[in-house]
């Protein structure tokens, strides 16, 4: 996984890493939930909402259509209501609630999160490269697991206490408890899904998380704060990659004053990065001469990150 503030190069690094692994013979899926379709842009292919799409041998890319997933989510909710309560139609007030809930950010995040779990749990690839959602969303996902743990454990204990009265319960009461057991079963299913996905994100044997940053003051400060938050959720932070480093040999050339000042500022912040993230910097990637789009530029970025491997 590559994470960090928007616009720093997460998608570029995701694509370059997927390219590198595919070229070394690994079957790779790089996927994103970014509604701006950034993988489509970088691979110059329309892949949005089309499932895993082969870009080249061993390399597949996928962009999740969040809106479609939310609609599927709504239909799943309706079907579960039919199954649990034996209704032949959804009452208007419940349908209104389902429609309103779809507009809530949490509904979209949950639907996307579910899709991500489906992708990884399904298997079929040697590596998954996750062009991560904004950091705040990722932390929300991880926090959901602990919230559900506490909530569902409490409900489970209440159900166990209620079961003590089964012998004296009426038929109506037993029917009511059967409905509650179905609801509890559904909650336990949701909890299992969330725990499974958070388990993938925090498994140091399976997962590597890299922060992308640039030699700028605000980016460095935001990255330090984010790293502290991720550490609280035991995300296996594997290191940092510095992007868009201007080549130092420019200093010896006849360059405009503003560019000379940029280089001086960069030197200062590279020292700050080295001090703050000492021993955890895995690569310094140079500023490219143009946008990284298309396989030729992706290969160039891949070589910059991983060296001459081909």
Judge if 139 and 279 occupy the same domain: yes
Does the pLDDT at position 175 exceed 60?
no
> Which domain covers residue 289, as residue numbers?
2-67+107-306
Closest CA to 215 of 238, 247, 255, 185: 247
Judge if 86 and 61 occupy the same domain: no
pTM for the predicted model, two decimal places: 0.82
Over residues 81-113, the pLDDT tens digits come to 888 778 888 889 888 888 887 777 667 767 777
Residue 236: partners with Cβ closer than 8 Å, 6 or more residues away: 202, 203, 204, 207, 208, 209
Judge if 179 and 79 occupy the same domain: no
Judge if 117 and 231 occupy the same domain: yes
Q: 3 has which bridge partners?
A: 211
Over residues 155-171, the pLDDT tens digits come to 777 766 766 555 445 44
Which residue has better confidence, 87 or 19?
19
Which residue has better confidence, 153 or 131?
131
Judge if 44 and 59 occupy the same domain: yes
Judge if 37 and 153 occupy the same domain: yes
Residue where a domain stops, chosen among 105, 131, 157: 105
Over residues 231-255, the pLDDT tens digits come to 877 777 899 999 999 998 888 899 9
Average pLDDT for residues 254-277, to the nearest whole number? 94
Mean per-residue pLDDT over the chain, rounded: 83
Residue 132 dihedral angles phi and psi, to the nearest 5°: -65, 145
The lowest-confidence range among 62-71, 138-147, 275-284 is 138-147
Residue with tokens 């309103």: 100
- The domain spanning residue 254 has which CATH number? 3.40.50.300
**Distance between CA atoms of residues 70 and 48, nearest Å:** 15
Average pLDDT for residues 119-125, to the nearest whole number? 87
Q: How confident is the model at residue 259 (pLDDT cuts 50, 70, 90)?
A: very high
| Most confident by average pLDDT, 51-60, 160-169, 203-212 | 51-60
Over residues 268-287, the pLDDT tens digits come to 999 999 999 988 999 899 99
Q: How confident is the model at residue 309 (pLDDT cuts 50, 70, 90)?
A: low
Judge if 147 and 276 occupy the same domain: yes
Judge if 96 and 118 occupy the same domain: no
Looking at residue 151, what is its pLDDT?
A: 75
Closest CA to 61 of 141, 121, 127, 110: 127
Coil vs helix vs strand at 211? strand
Looking at residue 167, what is its pLDDT?
A: 46
Looking at residue 135, what is its pLDDT?
A: 61
Judge if 119 and 182 occupy the same domain: yes
Judge if 230 and 112 occupy the same domain: yes
Does the pLDDT at position 174 exceed 90?
no
Looking at residue 143, what is its pLDDT?
A: 67
Judge if 42 and 161 occupy the same domain: yes
Average pLDDT for residues 53-67, to the nearest whole number? 93
Total domains present in the chain: 2
Looking at residue 172, what is its pLDDT?
A: 47
Residue where a domain stops, chosen among 105, 129, 156: 105
Judge if 272 and 286 occupy the same domain: yes
**Distance between CA atoms of residues 94 and 100, nearest Å:** 10
Looking at residue 37, what is its pLDDT?
A: 63
């Amino acid at each position: 996984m590559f994470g960090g503030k928007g616009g720093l190069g997460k998608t570029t690094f995701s694509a370059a890493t997927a390219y590198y692994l595919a070229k070394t013979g690994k079957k790779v899926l790089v996927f994103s939930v970014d509604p701006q379709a950034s993988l489509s842009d970088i691979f110059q292919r329309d892949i949005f909402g089309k499932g895993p799409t082969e870009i080249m041998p061993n390399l597949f890319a996928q962009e999740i259509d969040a809106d479609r997933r939310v609609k599927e989510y709504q239909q799943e909710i309706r079907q579960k209501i039919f199954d649990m309560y034996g209704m032949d139609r959804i009452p208007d007030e419940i349908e209104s609630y389902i429609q309103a809930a779809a507009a809530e950010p949490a509904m979209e995040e949950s639907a996307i999160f579910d899709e991500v779990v489906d992708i990884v749990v399904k298997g079929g690839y040697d590596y998954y490269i996750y062009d991560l959602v904004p950091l705040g969303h990722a932390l929300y996902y991880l926090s959901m697991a602990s919230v559900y743990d506490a909530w569902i454990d409490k409900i489970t204990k209440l159900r166990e206490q209620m079961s003590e009265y089964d012998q004296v319960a009426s038929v109506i009461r037993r029917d009511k408890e059967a409905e509650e057991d179905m609801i509890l079963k559904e909650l336990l299913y949701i909890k299992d899904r969330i725990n499974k996905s958070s388990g993938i994100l925090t498994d140091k044997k399976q997962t590597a998380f890299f922060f992308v940053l640039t030699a700028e003051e605000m980016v460095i400060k935001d990255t330090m704060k984010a790293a502290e938050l991720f550490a609280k959720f035991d995300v296996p932070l594997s290191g940092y990659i510095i992007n868009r480093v201007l080549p130092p040999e420019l200093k010896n050339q006849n360059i405009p004053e503003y560019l000379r000042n940029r280089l001086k500022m960069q030197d200062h912040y590279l020292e700050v990065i080295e001090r703050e993230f000492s021993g955890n910097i895995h690569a310094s990637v140079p500023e490219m001469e143009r946008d990284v789009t298309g396989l030729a530029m992706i290969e160039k970025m891949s070589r910059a990150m991983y060296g001459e491997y081909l």
